[in-house]
Amino acid sequence: MIESLRQDFKQLYGNDNTRVFFAPGRINLIGEHTDYNGGHVFPCAISFGTYAVARKREDDRIRLYSKNFKNLGMVEFTINNLSFIKAHDWANYPKGVLSVFKQNGYNIDSGFDVLFYGNIPNGAGLSSSASIELVTSVMLNELFELNVEMISMVKMSQKAENEFIGVNCGVMDQFAIGMGKEGYAILLDCSTLAYRYSKIDLKDASLVIANTNKRRGLADSKYNERRNECERALSQLQQKLDIKSLGELTEETFEANKHFITDETDRKRAKHAVYENQRTLKAVDALEKGDIELFGKLMDASHISLRDDYEVTGKELDTLVELAWKQKGTIGARMTGAGFGGCTVSIVKNDYIDAFIENVGRQYAQKVGYEASFYVASIGDGAKEIQQ
């Protein structure tokens, strides 16, 4: 794969004196829509992601090309002209990261050529955008010898998405992709960025990702709307409680004070944020004690809450999860990512994976009218340069 990408680079740009970088996608095992509510998440990096083959130039020109968006051709601009241009489409992500690096005073003193290629299904909710941001961050850090710590790159990548792209995302995607570790998921407190690695030992089971193949545009979905609903609920609770985020509440405290949230919809959104955060802590505890069955039950409960209280699932995700629940060998299943399309994640006993994929796939196509895609996920490392 890497050798063929180098050859593609040479055909595109000439000289192949290149370096190669990689950033994974991520899957969140539990803890959805909790990150911007000051709660906990439990993501891991997965083995597919985004490659960047790059080399520095002598002048100030930047040329970007993606094998995933060949129809858009090469995107060109200069190092001192980093404005958001709608026609530049995907290239606004690396451009945004470069802009934030420069705002933070990092000395990027020449242009560069990059060939990007991602094998994350686009729009699947496995964080292809954060993957592009982190692979760009690592590339800039190494090419220009900036000595930036990974946590700083994570924060700058998030800032690029928030301020340059205009998606008000939490920090989970960038954190999981930057800080991922093979064989481990990360329990992350999104309010403090305190984290710990937790070994994923599923014994005789594996993670199966199912892609609805319904495209999900995050910036124009209801993501920012949900965030506003939670902020309204929080501000009403803050009139009675000394809290900075919904993630600080236990279920009991929420139940005792939920009547202060006057809008019923806002109350449901806040309930999900509080209960999902507590569910995540219970799930990690169960996993660390080897209780995979309880972890699976908490995944199921997470999906029900995302469906009923947060209302971010939709027909495709619900169909995939409900079919998964009916299969022999399924320990737990839920939607993962922002919702409104994208993917589900299931824990399935290895002996039943083939039957699971066949049955769920067939019945999903019958109900929805088009096919889902399935991947057995392995948990990989975070963003890095690939040493030749």
pLDDT at 219: 40
For the cut 70, the answer to whether the pLDDT of residue 45 exceeds it is yes
What does the pLDDT look like over 8-21, one tens digit per residue?
A: 999 999 977 899 99
Q: How far apart are CA 197 and CA 181, in angstroms?
A: 8
pLDDT of 217 > 60? The answer is: no
Task: State pLDDT tens for residues 218-264.
Answer: 444 688 899 999 999 999 999 999 999 999 999 999 999 999 999 99
Which of 28, 17, 21 has the alpha carbon at shortest distance from 190? 28
pLDDT of 120 above 90 = no
Q: Which two tokens stand for residue 379?
A: 């948990």
Look at the chain and report how many structural domains it folds into: 1
CA 369 from chain centre, in angstroms, equals 27
Is 253 part of any domain? no
pLDDT score for 81: 94
Digit-coded pLDDT (tens) for 72-88: 999 999 999 999 999 99
360 found inside a domain? no
| C-alpha pair distances (Å), 72 with each of 16, 160, 239 | 23, 22, 50
Report, as an integer, the average pLDDT of 335-353.
93
- At position 5, the amino acid (one-letter code) is L
Q: Show the tokens assigned to 233.
A: 């609920």
Cβ atoms of 91 and 122 closer than 8 Å: no
pLDDT per residue as tens digits for the range 307-321 = 999 999 999 999 999
Question: Is 212 within the bounds of a domain?
Answer: no
CB 117 within 8 A of CB 132: no
The pair of three-digit structure tokens given for residue 44, joined into one six-digit string: 């891991």
Which CATH number belongs to the domain containing residue 88 in this structure? Answer: 3.30.230.10
% of the chain residues with pLDDT over 90: 88
Domain enclosing residue 190, as ranges = 2-198+381-386
217 in any annotated domain: no
Stretch 329-339: mean pLDDT, rounded? 94
- How does strand 205-211 pair with strand 330-336? unpaired
Among residues 191, 310, 164, the alpha carbon closest in space to that of 246 is found at: 191
The span from the CA of 59 to the CA of 302, in Å, is 51
Give the pLDDT of residue 2.
92
Cβ-Cβ contacts under 8 Å for 144 (sequence gap 6 or more): 56, 106, 107, 108, 109
CA-closest candidate to residue 126, choices 221, 209, 226: 209
CB 50 within 8 A of CB 131: yes
Report the Cα 305 to chain-centroid distance in Å. Answer: 20
Instruction: Determine the Cα–Cα distance for residues 93 and 50; give it in Å rounded to an integer.
Output: 13
**pLDDT at residue 282 is higher than 60:** yes
Q: Which of 167-171, 204-208, 305-309, 362-366 has the lowest mean pLDDT?
A: 167-171
pLDDT for 340: 86
CA distance 354 to 165: 40
**Phi (first) and psi of residue 70, to 5 degrees:** -60, -35
Give the pLDDT mean for 318-330.
98
**Tens digit of each residue's pLDDT (9 = 90 or more) over 130-156:** 999 999 999 999 999 999 999 999 999
H or E element in which residue 173 lies: helix 172-179
- Answer whether residue 335 shows pLDDT above 90: yes
Asked if residue 205 belongs to a domain, the reply is no
Question: Residue 55: CB partners within 8 Å, gap ≥ 6?
Answer: 9, 13, 15, 17, 18, 19, 112, 113, 143
With CA atoms as reference, report the closest residue to 128 among 215, 5, 32.
Answer: 215
What confidence score (pLDDT) does residue 123 get?
66
pLDDT of residue 121: 74
Does residue 286 carry a pLDDT above 50?
Answer: yes
Residue 44, C-beta contacts closer than 8 angstroms, at least 6 positions apart: 26, 27, 29, 176, 180, 184, 185, 186, 200, 379
Domain-embedded: residue 162: yes
Active site residues: 173
- Burial of residue 17 (number of CB atoms within 10 Å: 0-12, 13-18, 19+): exposed
Question: Is residue 157 one of the residues assigned to a domain?
Answer: yes
pLDDT, tens only, 25-42: 999 999 999 999 999 999
- Mean per-residue pLDDT of the chain: 94
Tokens at residue 181, please?
């570790």
